[in-house]
Structure 1
Amino acid sequence: MLPDLDKRPLIFLDVDGTLIPFKARPGSRTACPSDSGNPLLDRLDSNDGRRLLELDCQLVWATTWMAEANEVVSPRLGLPDLPVVEWPDSDDTRTDGLHWKTALLAQWADGRPFVWLDDETTERDRRWVADCYPGPALLPRIEPTVGLTETDFSAIHQWLSGSNLPGG
């Protein structure tokens, strides 16, 4: 029996500060040399793609790179084309301390369990999701100078295997 892929938890992926750290990671190597003129792409770690795929979740780009993430980042990480959260063109800025992505991602997730990997999440975002979102969610803050780490992946694995998820 095949798993119902539409029921898997979502993982919303940011790029800058999450997959591309603000400082180069020692030993990180991309599968493709940077030919786009963006030297920061050399900071991608191709192992992140493999580790993300091993999570058996639906990966979704939640980045201002939008569709360009599929063209530029996915091939370097060995990821297939992923769904992309389309951000509104509005210049509305929240004044309540909530990150501008938070409510939009909760709406996109539509009650499904989700992990949001971003370097800009705060305690305010975690509280809002805990109070307002009907499903389980994990919002770790990724340290932007180092990007995703083994500790982050361990925390995600632990959360995914927890009893707070359907079937857990």
Structure 2
Amino acid sequence: MAPGPLIYLDVDGPLIPFGLEPSRYPLFDPSPRDDENPLLGRLDPSHGARLKALPGELVWATTWLHDANDSLAPRLGLPRLPVVDWPEPAESDEVDARIGLHWKIRPLLEHARGRPFAWVDDEISEIDREWVSAHHAGPALLHRVDPRHGLTGDDYLELGEWLRESRHS
């Protein structure tokens, strides 16, 4: 049986909301350690169970890199997850930026190697969707999350439905 879909997770925006007045966000951990990002207090631990319930393989796709496993996974009740290690910037990144293509796209497609995937991020554009559609052999969902609110129940419903359908594609 073919492996299930990958679920690429960004952190800032989807899991740690930002962009509104700080007082508008609940603090789930009002006193993170001094050496930790103070925005970790906004991380809703209920995301862990909801993420684990999604039918796919969770992968960190964030600039937090391996720190996501140290700082976020324990708070979410998640095991250590695979991490997309971003390559050093290349000349092609400048071209991609000029056309509006997100810098994560090429490394995500390389990591996916044709497997179905959902990418959960707050910086996804229509250009990204078109590029992935033209360059990725398998099904892909580029799911943009409003960074002011982070992942919501509607996001989880859409992701779950797409992931279940992609398993049968």
TM class by shorter chain equals 0.7 to 0.9
Q: 2:8 aligns with which of 9, 12, 21?
A: 12
- What secondary structure sits across from 1:11 in the alignment? strand
Q: Percent identity?
A: 49
> How does the TM-score come out when normalised to structure 1?
0.87
Give per-residue Cα distances to partners, 1:2-22, cap 9 Å, x unaligned.
xx6x70110001011111000
Q: What is the CA RMSD across the aligned residues, in angstroms? A: 2.0
Q: 2:109 aligns with which of 83, 106, 111?
A: 106
Tell me the equivalent position of 1:52. Answer: 51
Equivalent AA in structure 1 for residue 154 of structure 2: T
Equivalent AA in structure 2 for residue 167 of structure 1: H
Quick check: 2:87–2:107 contact (8 Å CA) kept in 1? no
Q: CA deviation at 1:113?
A: 0.7
Quick check: 1:20–1:43 contact (8 Å CA) kept in 2? yes
Choose 36-45 or 106-115, whichever is displaced more. Answer: 36-45
- What secondary structure sits across from 1:59 in the alignment? strand
Q: CA deviation at 1:158?
A: 1.4
Gap runs ≥5 in structure 2: none
Q: CA deviation at 1:86?
A: 0.5
Tell me the equivalent position of 1:140. Answer: 143
Greater share of helix residues, 1 or 2? Answer: 2
Gap runs ≥5 in structure 1: none
Q: CA deviation at 1:29?
A: 2.7
